[in-house]
Structure 1
Amino acid sequence: MQIHELPLFPLSTVLFPGGQLSLRIFEPRYLDLVKRCARSGEGFGICLILDGREAGEPAIPAALGTEAVIVDFAMTDDGLLGITVEGRRRFHVERTRVRNDGLLLGDVSWRPEPAPEALRDEHALLSVLLARILDKAGLEHDGVGKGALAEAAHVGWRLAEWLPLDPTERQQLLQLDDPHERLQWLLGRLPDFQPE
């Protein structure tokens, strides 16, 4: 198992592979991190906070997170640096340590990602649901059961982002390696999202 050093950014949300997240950066440790990553093109890790807060003392992160790569940045209305990151590979944190400036560093191993697999017939309804969600959000797609909406991993990751799940449920889905298992879990939760 190969270990890599990765700066960690614990948050109260979960980033999924292929997903995007907007962040406002104001703490010096994270401003330095963003500058370094923007120059080098390298990513950093986003992990769900298990204990602590996003600002201030280093928080305790979940052991499994997602590599984030900066894809856009701008100044926010309140004068802070705003960045958009995209989720790439999942990783497991083997050890952590805190630098003098408060930045959390992790020794991580990359999680293997399965080859793309087609959506199974029993999960076809989830492609329909995702297409409706994307239509309401005004986002383009190839149509139900076509392109990315025919791929098990893509449908699972995007529904995990869009459905009203709590952060611990999202973390549970991030930790599942099998995309079909993730889809089955989501299928089981669908009745909870129906209006009374």
Structure 2
Amino acid sequence: MAAIPLFPLNTVLFPDGCLSLQIFEVRYLDMVKRCIEHDEQFGVVALVQGEEVRKPGGHETLSAIGTMARIDEWKAPMPGLMHISCVGARRFHITSAELLKHGLWMGDVTDIPPDLQMPIPVDQQVVADMLGSLIRSLQERGIHGNQMPMRPPYRLDDAGWVANRWCELLRINLAQKQLLLSQENPLLRLELVQDVLADHGLLN
């Protein structure tokens, strides 16, 4: 596929996940405007080294695996500032990346096949039940729509979807989240999430 613009961040975007960004650097304002105008996506990749906001003499090292982001809402409250809301799409592997003169990264990427829909194994059902309880609790508190940390449909019977939502919610470091994103087997990803929940004392 053609080279895509990359947005290095100190976060990991998972498929179907939500991401809100405040854009003010010229390199990203131009990128976002092009994506909106042409209905295109950009790639979100975690930073292994470096800062989100470019500094003189700074150096950025990107993770090898990222997720495409689709812009679904945006507003420009003032010149030079945009607020965008994105949804994670397919994952990709970077085969090569180039830093352009104006500071934007472009990458040649190959798609990673989407997770196969797999039912929740009996041994991990408690993980899905806990997520369902959290969603109901938020709804009962009057939290709906874009205020929710995840968006409908709530696929609580799908191992990959449940695993990805927990990956976003859990307070684990960037390297751990990146490892979970890189795991191509959704059942194994769900098992790893269950282990993290247990380690944090969150399982009954």
Counterpart of 2:131 in 1: which secondary structure?
helix
Residue 189 (1) aligns with residue 196 (2)? yes
Q: Which residue of 2 aligns with 1:69?
A: 70
Q: Which residue of 2 aligns with 1:159?
A: 166
Q: Percent of aligned positions with the same letter in both sequences?
A: 34
Q: Which residue of 2 aligns with 1:127?
A: 128
Name the count of aligned residue pairs.
188
Equivalent residues in 2 for 1:21-170, closer than 5 Å: 21-56=19-54, 57=58, 59-75=60-76, 80-138=81-139, 148-170=155-177
Does the 8 Å CA contact 1:58/1:98 hold for their aligned counterparts? no
- State the TM-score, normalized to the length of structure 2: 0.86
CA shift, 1:137, in A, is 3.2
CA distance in 2, matches of 1:11, 1:69: 16
Counterpart of 1:129 in 2: which secondary structure?
helix
Q: Which residue of 2 aligns with 1:178?
A: 185
Runs of 4+ in 1 over 6 A off after TM superposition: none
CA shift, 1:119, in A, is 1.0
Does the 8 Å CA contact 1:58/1:104 hold for their aligned counterparts? no
CA distance in 1, matches of 2:79, 2:125: 44
Segments of structure 2 that go 5 or more residues without pairing to the other structure are 145-152
CA distance in 2, matches of 1:147, 1:176: 21
CA RMSD of the aligned region, Å?
A: 2.1
Write the deviation string for residues 7-58 of structure 1: whole angstroms up to 9, x where unpaired. Answer: 1000000000000100000000100000000011110000000010001156
Q: Which residue of 1 aligns with 2:8?
A: 10
- State the TM-score, normalized to the length of structure 1: 0.89
CA distance in 1, matches of 2:130, 2:201: 12
Does the 8 Å CA contact 2:24/2:80 hold for their aligned counterparts? no
